Amino acid sequence: MKTTVILFTLIISLSSFLFAQENIVKEAEFKVFGNCASCKSRIEKSLKIKEVKSARWNKQTKMLSVAYISPAITLDSLQQRIAAVGHDTEKYKAADSVYAELPSCCLYRDVEKSH
């Protein structure tokens, strides 16, 4: 009986260790275009999923800092989620139809061209 309990405890510990090794929290930073507090809210909200531990967008620098569980989700898929709500990233452009539906204060493409 004692051997069975020890063996069971070792199996549980090993399983926990392997799970922790497979699901590593990675941190990344990439550019996301936007203008205002509404953009910040929309960008961060698009990443409110269980695989993302934190996401913070800086309006001044246009940089998003994100901590996510790998390999449960990829950096590419995070950027695609952001583009899907109307914000261009370094790798993905939002669909013009989605971008056109953003509030006027959030329309960053014309602002970028004028600078």
pTM: 0.77
| Mean pLDDT, the chain, integer | 86
Q: How far apart are CA 3 and CA 30, in angstroms?
A: 51
* Domain 25-114: CATH class, spelled out: alpha beta
- Model confidence at 8, pLDDT cuts 50, 70, 90, reads very low
Tens-digit pLDDT profile for residues 23-75: 799 999 999 999 999 999 999 999 999 999 999 999 999 999 999 998 889 99
Q: Which residues contact 98 (CB under 8 A, 6 or more apart)?
A: 84, 85, 86
The full set of domain ranges for the chain reads 25-114
